[in-house]
Each structure stands twice: as structure tokens, then as C-alpha cells.
Amino acid sequence: MTGRTVNKKYRIKSKFRFITALVIALGLCVGLFGFITGTYSSTAITKNEVTQVEVSAGDTLWEIAENVKTRNMDTRQVVYEICKANDIQAADLQPGMILVIPEYL
């Protein structure tokens, strides 16, 4: 060896095996990164947490929805979700009625 550089050329024999190996390696890197950083945490979807609200005289479903919504959610959607959770229509609202408000609202 007298200081000469040897240029080896590598040739891919099977594109399918090469791409498959790349995809698997990339998937392992993403999974390992998620595992190390803890970004893949899960929560139970079946957790049914609710709040109960008693309807007072003069209350409307719209006012109740405005008071209980926590996220930047459309009030019409909150009214719909309250009606669905309680199996009622807006006209069915009576003073003294207890409404179940899902926590995800």
C-alpha cells in the first residue's frame, strides 16, 4: 500500500430487500425514540367521568352549555353532547332536573 486510495463501488442487488431493510430500520428508530422520550403514552378511553348539574328555573340548555364547556368548543356541539348524554331534547328541560355533563366537554 503506497498511499493509493481504493474506491470500492457497492451495488444493490435487490431493491426490494434494500427498501424493506430501510423501512424496518426507520421504524425501529422511530419506535426507540418514542420509547426513550415517553411520547407514546396512552390513556383509557373508557373512563366515564361526568359532572352533574341541577337545572334551575329559567335556565336554558344554551346557558348551561356555555357555563360547563372547558375547551374551545362550539356551544352548539356542547348542547348536542349534553342532550345525547341525557337522552333529552332542549324542550324537555325542567327545573330540578339533574343533567349529566361528560368531562370531555
Q: For position 47, what pLDDT does the model report?
A: 60
Q: For position 50, what pLDDT does the model report?
A: 81
Closest CA to 64 of 99, 30, 94: 99
**What count of other Cβ atoms lies within 10 Å of the Cβ of residue 18?**
11
Q: Is the pTM of this model over 0.75?
A: no
Residue 36's domain comprises 11-41
pLDDT over 80 (residue 43): no
- Alpha carbon 35 to chain centroid, angstroms: 19
Q: For position 100, what pLDDT does the model report?
A: 92
Residue 85's domain is classified under what CATH number? 3.10.350.10
How far is Cα 45 from Cα 20, in angstroms, rounded to an integer? 34
Q: Are residues 58 and 84 in the same domain?
A: yes
Residue 74 placed within a domain: yes
Residue 2 placed within a domain: no
Residue 26 placed within a domain: yes
For 56-84, what is each residue's pLDDT tens digit? 999 999 999 998 887 788 899 999 999 99
Q: Are residues 35 and 57 in the same domain?
A: no
Q: For position 105, what pLDDT does the model report?
A: 72
Q: Are residues 54 and 96 in the same domain?
A: yes
Residue 3 placed within a domain: no
Could you give the number of structural domains in the chain? 2
Output the CA–CA distances (angstroms, integers) from residue 65 to 8, 52, 71, 87, in the order listed: 71, 12, 11, 15
